[in-house]
Structure formats: structure tokens, C-alpha cells
Structure 1
Amino acid sequence: MAIQKPSIPKGTRDFSPIEVAKRNYLINTLKNAFTTFGFQPIETPSFENYDTLMGKYGEEGDRLIFKILNSGDFTQGVKQEDWETKNPQKLTPQISEKALRYDLTVPFARYVVQHQNELTFPFKRYQIQPVWRADRPQKGRFREFYQCDADVVGSTSLWQEVEFVKLYDTVFTALNLKGVTIKINNRKILSGFAEMIGESDKLTDFTVALDKLDKIGEEGVIKEMKERGISEEAITKLQPIFALKGSFAEKLIALKEILKTSEVGLKGIEELTFIEQQIAQIGLQTAFLSLDVTLARGLNYYTGAIFEIAAPEGVQMGSIGGGGRYDDLTSIFGLKGMSGIGISFGLDRIGLVMEELNLFPENISGTVQVLCINFGDAEALQSMKLLQQLRSLGIKAELYPDAAKIKKQMDYANKRSIPFVIIIGESELANGTFVLKNMLTGSQEEYHINEVKASIFE
């Protein structure tokens, strides 16, 4: 019987030590920014009840949720007519009571509702955990990936939007990732567009299609709108939107004319004007704020500002972050009047951009700094005593476990890019000394075992 070659599911990855080190570098940078801005950490389960997730992400989002089959005989209790007709909308809830989380926002809303009596509002939380989406794998798009979210619930103040723009700018500046574009729009403006073209009842169809402009172009968007039942006359009225150019302020002026008859649209313009004016006063370090009126993000729960982050020009990558204002999200779990806003950082995609631009620090691997060569039990014991001193000084150090040939141990140090090797042989053992060899230069110095200090490894 042939042995099956092992593999992993499409859209998932193994991570090497250096890749984990780079991911930890990103996570630590994010955590530092989050805590500096006053956010507190929480964690939620990797899977939620099926009903908690379904219906919260729009038609396309629901299709991308990984469902978990019930334990044991999952067919037990399924209605015979549903089994025979194979209607997924009726069948799936009967065989799958749980699903892997699609994002961190809906679980967060569920968390707030369940723990509302324990929280102090406004409540600022950050969360860094993996999520799962049954998407088609491609560059920068995986089926399992980390999301890094920051949210505030319990405040309708637009200063929160301003803070999130600054948070994005702070994180990307700390990562030395310059030239990132923070795209912003407002769901009220999209509602105003739908109202203007006489298709308010098709707002979801309109926004799902419009959100694909960057991927399929204007012709593709128009084609999809037609397929979704939006009239030719309505699409003609959208032409000024596709042609909108100029600075942030100039686009706002043009929008006021386009949406002059839409009360909700003008409210969206008012909110964006406030955010743009405050950011203009405060300033950004390395990022750019840009108004993109076609930005929709395709999620039903956004009600105000919408964010999407574009990588620096020249880097072929989808969005590396996004988010927005949601006034009604917790009401789906029975808690009304709890406005919130949140943003997400695409950790994996940010990592790919950092790789492409060679922005990770050279010493990020966190590799062992010192390897003690093993000459035998007596020398190894002395090395172990020395290791205790090194580790107490914060030096990452280890002992080669076997008394193998010196060349093999030296090769091990080179392959792992360990910069220093300590040699305690028979004479060093007798003299209470050790030899420190710099693997890069080949130079070596002898020290007394009581002379250990961190500076000799610099």
C-alpha cells in the first residue's frame, strides 16, 4: 500500500521559526499601538453558534463561512423533505449548529451583549486571533488568517473616526511602511446614491457591485448591477460618481451637488467633512487620507464611516486593513442604541508587503545568540552552569545536546545563523575559563568563567 504524501488544506500555511518571529514582530507593534491608544485585550472562541454568524455579512459573506458538522450522526433529526430536496438554506442549520468565526467584529458584538453589565462604556477593545473564510486562495488571500481588530462601542462621537485614522497612521509609521493610503467613505453617501438613482430598495445589490470597482472595473460593475436588477436609467445617473476626481475637499464639494436632494447623503458628507478637517489640523506622519466614494466593503452592518487601507503604490496587494461605523450591530443580539466603530489590520497581507519592501529588521529572527560546544559530560556540565549566567543576563543560549564531531556542531551554528560559539574543552575546564568565538569574523577570546557580561556578545 502506497504511503500518502502529507499535505495541508488549500489556503492554509505552515510557519517556519523566522516567519513566526516576523508575525510576532507585527503583533507586538500592533499591541503597543493599541494599548497606547487605550484599548484593552479580549479573546473569543474560534467557533460560534451558527445563528450568531449567519445573516451578518451579506449574501456573499454568508457563503464564505465555514460550517462545522454536528458531532456523531449529523443526519439525525433532519427533515426528510429537506434531505431529499437538498435545499442548503434549510438543510445546513439542521446538520451544522456551529461555524468558524468569519471575522472578529460579530463575535465582539455578541461579547458586548453578553457582558454589558460588566463593561464600562465607552468600551475600547483590541483582539488578535485567527479567522476562517471559505474564499478562493490567491496571493494575499488565505482561508485561515489572523485579524487584528480595535473597536470602540458606546459612543457616537466622530472623534473616534479621527482616532482610528491616527491609529492606522501610528501603526504603519512604527512599521516604517510609508505611503499607505487610508481610503474612507460613508455608508450614508452610498444610501444617498441609491436614493438618487431611485434604487433604495436595492441598496445591498448596489453596494456589493460598486465595491468591486477596483477588481472588475467600471464595465464589470455596470454589468453586475444590471444582473442584479438595477435599471439602465439608474446606472446612467451613476456616471458622475465614476468620474469623480480631485482632492478630498474638491470631491466633497462635488458630492454636495450630486446628493443635494438626499438628506441621508448630505449627512454622510457632513460627517466626512468633520473627519477631514480634524485630520488636516492634526496631520498624519506617513499615511494619506483619501475619499473613495465607491468604497462599500460589502458588509451589511456598516452605517457610517467606512475604511479600507491600500498598500503603498507599486505593491500588488489587496486591502491590508479596513473597518467602519456600525450603529445597529449589537441590536441583532437584543441590545439597541449601542453605536460602535472598529477597524482591522490584515496581519498576513501586511507581512507580505513588509517582505516585498524588505522592511523587517535584520535581527528579527530572535535566534540563539550563543551555542556551547559539547565535548563530553564534564565539559557539558560546566557549560550548563555558564548557560545559567548567560540566560540571567538575557542572552539567548543553548548547549548542543550531543558530544558530536566539532565540525558537525559548528555547521549547526552556521546553519542557524548563531553568531557566537563557546568552547569549554579539557584545558578550559581545568582553568575555569571559556573561549568565545565570533562565527562571523572568526576571531576568538578567552575569558574567565566569572567574567561573563552581556557586552562581550555585542
Structure 2
Amino acid sequence: MAQKPSIPKGTRDFSPIEVAKRSYIMNTIKEQFQLFGFQPIETPSFENSETLMGKYGEEGDRLIFKILNSGDFLNKVDDALYSSKNSVKLTSRISEKALRYDLTVPFARYVVQHQNDIDFPFKRFQIQPVWRADRPQKGRFREFYQCDADVVGSKSLWQEVEFIQLYDKVFTKLGLEGVTIKINNRKILSGIAEVIGASDKLIDFTVALDKLDKIGEDGVKKEMLAKGISEDAIEKVKPLFNFIGSTSEKLDKLKSLLATSEEGMQGVEELQFILDTIKELPLSTAQLDLNVTLARGLNYYTGAIFEVAAPETVKMGSIGGGGRYDDLTGIFGLKDVSGVGISFGLDRIYLVLEDLGLFPETVTASTKVLFINFGEAEALYCLKAVQKLRLEGIKAELYPDNAKMAKQMKYANKREIPFVVLAGTSEIEKNTFTVKDMSTGNQEEINFEKLMSIL
């Protein structure tokens, strides 16, 4: 007995309806990317190993899918290395390529490799799949799409303003209200660590602070103490545990807290500019929230940090995020090229729209009319009509087989095709068509022009 086929854990098949809904989201995002002046690029699904390895930290390196060399990949491995069972050394000999882990490092490689052909500032978007050898769980897959937009070659804060507008525009187009765009700045976090005397513990401090909404004030204090941050330093940072008020009130509190930190005050000024500008360019549906505990990707971001939260009515993690980075291309030798970018979480956005019933019915609409097949002559007569309908952009098809009428009608019902056309000898002689409305059961014999107007 043949073994039942399956797919690898952490991957998914998508039905026609799911593909239609995913395409609706991606096309909406793509449309806005292009409206904002971003240009599309695509990079290979796999890169040279040295391009990817060492760019994501030790944990990230372990999650990169390696590709075995073609041919006799063990040919270059001597007996001593093979017997040592050292996977790191062995992998470098038998694998020279790897599946991309994200779109960011390949983008950095692209910019450096094509720097003489690129007009800076370079605005690019990319919507492609990535792969991670992660442990599959709910909402976490080994193969998934990323939808990224970045600008490199400009330090202007107008880019941050535009990215906030871009988020707002996309979610407005998707009909998703109640989205919150959280914003912070790496310089503010560095400044806070400086004024409390914990600059050497910046990462530990911010990682703990970032968990405030999950483990509460006591949990954050406990974690900070465990990481070697003094009680005196924690006491100084206490105002952040209950950081409420209007945007202007929050900025005033930060100015007071960071008065002695040059870097911290620079972060406040950058945020002030972005927030004041957005007031002059009101958002349609999204809310902007200054959140000083936001610290995603701290090793990576150097300025503004963004994270998009779904409406509170939906229990879902972030559905987007990004920020400013000052030396992304430096990993490939091109120094001092500042950039800022954001990403949309396609899978999570899908789940939110599905949960809230926000997918338009037209998204999954497929064939508009099915022509019943009564035989060779009738099929040819119908196919001529189908051809004309398709020229007018109407989705039409002919049932391929001269099967029993009941089978063909059942097929139309299962596919939820709204109209069925019957054309036998009588209709051919009169150059007409009998059209049936599947929702009401009503049918009438009409000419092609009337059929076109109905459809």
C-alpha cells in the first residue's frame, strides 16, 4: 500500500480561496508600495552561505537551512573531519549555499553589489518567501512570506513620517480599523540606560523593559536585578513603569528624565519631529502611540523603532514592524549608508482580517458563468461565446466533458458559480442561450447581448 503523501512540518498548502485572500492582501500592500514610490526587486531564494552566515547571531545561524553541494558532496571531506562529527566544520565543506533567512541581508548584499547602478536614496520593496529551520508552532512557520519596504541612502526623518503614512494607508485600504502604530527611538533607550548608570547593561535593560506589558512591573524589576542592574538604577527608571499621558506629556517627561544625556535628547528631538509632523498630516484610521518600552531588534536599529499592534478586539501579536538602521551595508564593506524600513506580517494580517470578517466577497469570486456541455457541436457553440465574454473580462468557462446534466449542475453549485448557461440544438438554431440564475432558480432564453448585460 502506497504511503500517504505529506508535506514538511512548518509548511502549508493553500487552497484556491486562501490563495485569493493572500493575494488580495499582497496586492493591496504592493499597490501602496508603488504609490509611495518604492521600486520592486527580487533576490534568489538561496544565497552563498557566507552572505547569510554570521549575520543573525549564533541562534539565527542555527535556523538557516543549508543546501548540500551537488554531486558527491562528501568528496572533499577527509576521514578525520568526518569522524570528528563536528557539524560546523563539516557543513562548510559540504554546503556552500543556503536558503535566505529574511529579505534584509539579501537586500544589503544587493545594494552593495549593484551600488554603481542604483540611484540613492534607493526605495525598494520586496514580497518573497523566506525559510527558517524553526520549531513549528501556532503562527510560526518554516516557510513564510515577508513584505518589506526600505529606503537606503538618506538620513532624513521625512522617511519615517512616510512609513507611518504607508502603514496607515495599507490598513485603511484593508478596512482594518483600530490599528496602533507604536513608536520609540533607540537613542532614547540608550539615553535612559546612560542616566541610570546602566549603559553596559543596555541590552539586558531594554529586553526586560520590553516585557512590561507581559510580566508587569514586578516581573521587570526581578529580571533587571537578575541581570545585575542595581536597585538604585531601577528606582531611577521607575517613571517608565507607569508612562501614561498625552504624546506631549510623555515627551515632556522624557525631556526631564534625559536632560543630562546628549544621545537621549537627540532621540527625543527626532521623535518630536515625527510626531509633530503627523499632527499636520492626520492619519485615516491608525493611532500613533509613543511607547518607551518598545525595544524590538535593538542590536539592529539605531533610531526610530516601529511596531504595529492589531485592534484590541483581536488577540494577536504585532502585525508589522521596522525602524532606522545606520550601517546595514557595512556587513558587506559599504560603510555609512543609512536606511529605514518596515515589514508587514502577511500571515497575521490574514488571520486578523479573517477573524473580523473583513475580506470582501469579491476576493474569492471565481467563475461568473459555466456553460453546460451537451456534446461536440454544442460545446463549440458555447466556447465561441465564452471567448467573447473573456474578451470583456468576464470569467467564464465550459464544462470540459459531456457528462450527465445533474453532475454538471452539481459542479456549478459546489464552485458557487452564480450563472449557468444551457445551449442545445434549439438554442443553436435560434442563436440564443438559456441562462439560469443559480441563486433563484429562474431561467430565460436570451440572445448574446442580453447575456452579456446580465453578466
TM-score normalised over the length of structure 2: 0.93
Superposition pairs of residues 8-407 of structure 1, within 5 angstroms: 8-72=7-71, 74-75=73-74, 77=76, 92-222=91-221, 224-225=223-224, 228=227, 230-231=229-230, 233-407=232-406
- Structure 1 contact 140–318 (Cα < 8 Å) conserved: no
Residues 247 and 412 (structure 1), Cα distance of their counterparts in 2 relative to 1, 3 Å cut? same
Task: Return the letter of the residue paired with 1:173.
Answer: T
Residues 413 and 91 (structure 1), Cα distance of their counterparts in 2 relative to 1, 3 Å cut? same
Task: Return the letter of the residue paired with 1:407.
Answer: A
- Structure 1 contact 58–300 (Cα < 8 Å) conserved: no
Residues 61 and 243 (structure 1), Cα distance of their counterparts in 2 relative to 1, 3 Å cut? farther
Structure-2 separation of matches of 1:181 and 1:85: 52
Deviation at 1:163, TM superposition (A): 0.5
Deviates more, 1:31-40 or 1:242-251: 242-251
- Structure 2 contact 212–241 (Cα < 8 Å) conserved: no
Structure-1 separation of matches of 2:200 and 2:95: 32
Task: Return the letter of the residue paired with 2:331.
Answer: I
**Partner residue, 2:415:** 416
CA deviations on 1:122-142 (whole Å, 9 max, x unpaired) are 111111111123334333332
Deviation at 1:231, TM superposition (A): 4.9
Residues 129 and 71 (structure 1), Cα distance of their counterparts in 2 relative to 1, 3 Å cut? same
Deviation at 1:437, TM superposition (A): 0.8
- Structure 2 contact 209–220 (Cα < 8 Å) conserved: yes
Task: Return the letter of the residue paired with 2:103.
Answer: L
Structure-1 separation of matches of 2:407 and 2:181: 51
**Partner residue, 2:454:** 456
Deviation at 1:334, TM superposition (A): 1.1
Task: Return the letter of the residue paired with 1:187.
Answer: R
- Structure 1 contact 389–452 (Cα < 8 Å) conserved: no
Residues 237 and 158 (structure 1), Cα distance of their counterparts in 2 relative to 1, 3 Å cut? same
Deviation at 1:407, TM superposition (A): 0.8
CA deviations on 1:74-125 (whole Å, 9 max, x unpaired) are 5555587876666665555444433322221221111111111111111111
Structure-1 separation of matches of 2:75 and 2:192: 48
Secondary structure in 2 matching 1:320: strand
**Partner residue, 2:434:** 435
Residues 409 and 63 (structure 1), Cα distance of their counterparts in 2 relative to 1, 3 Å cut? same
CA deviations on 1:302-355 (whole Å, 9 max, x unpaired) are 111011100011211111000111111011111112111110011111111000
CA deviations on 1:35-55 (whole Å, 9 max, x unpaired) are 111111110111222232233
Deviates more, 1:400-409 or 1:240-249: 240-249
TM-score normalised over the length of structure 1: 0.92
Residues 46 and 234 (structure 1), Cα distance of their counterparts in 2 relative to 1, 3 Å cut? farther
Secondary structure in 2 matching 1:363: helix
Deviation at 1:293, TM superposition (A): 1.3
What value does the CA root-mean-square deviation take over the aligned residues? 2.4
Secondary structure in 1 matching 2:361: coil
- Structure 2 contact 186–298 (Cα < 8 Å) conserved: no
Task: Return the letter of the residue paired with 1:169.
Answer: D
Return 5+ residue gaps in structure 2 as ranges: none
Task: Return the letter of the residue paired with 1:8.
Answer: I
- Structure 2 contact 435–451 (Cα < 8 Å) conserved: no
* Number of residue pairs aligned between Structure 1 and Structure 2: 455
Structure-1 separation of matches of 2:111 and 2:350: 30
- Structure 2 contact 46–97 (Cα < 8 Å) conserved: yes
Q: Give the share of equivalent positions with the same residue, in percent.
A: 71
Residues 283 and 204 (structure 1), Cα distance of their counterparts in 2 relative to 1, 3 Å cut? same
Task: Return the letter of the residue paired with 1:139.
Answer: K
Task: Return the letter of the residue paired with 1:332.
Answer: I
Structure-1 separation of matches of 2:251 and 2:78: 55
Task: Return the letter of the residue paired with 1:360.
Answer: F
- Structure 1 contact 56–301 (Cα < 8 Å) conserved: no
Secondary structure in 1 matching 2:363: coil
Secondary structure in 2 matching 1:367: coil
Deviates more, 1:211-220 or 1:288-297: 211-220
Residues 34 and 7 (structure 1), Cα distance of their counterparts in 2 relative to 1, 3 Å cut? same
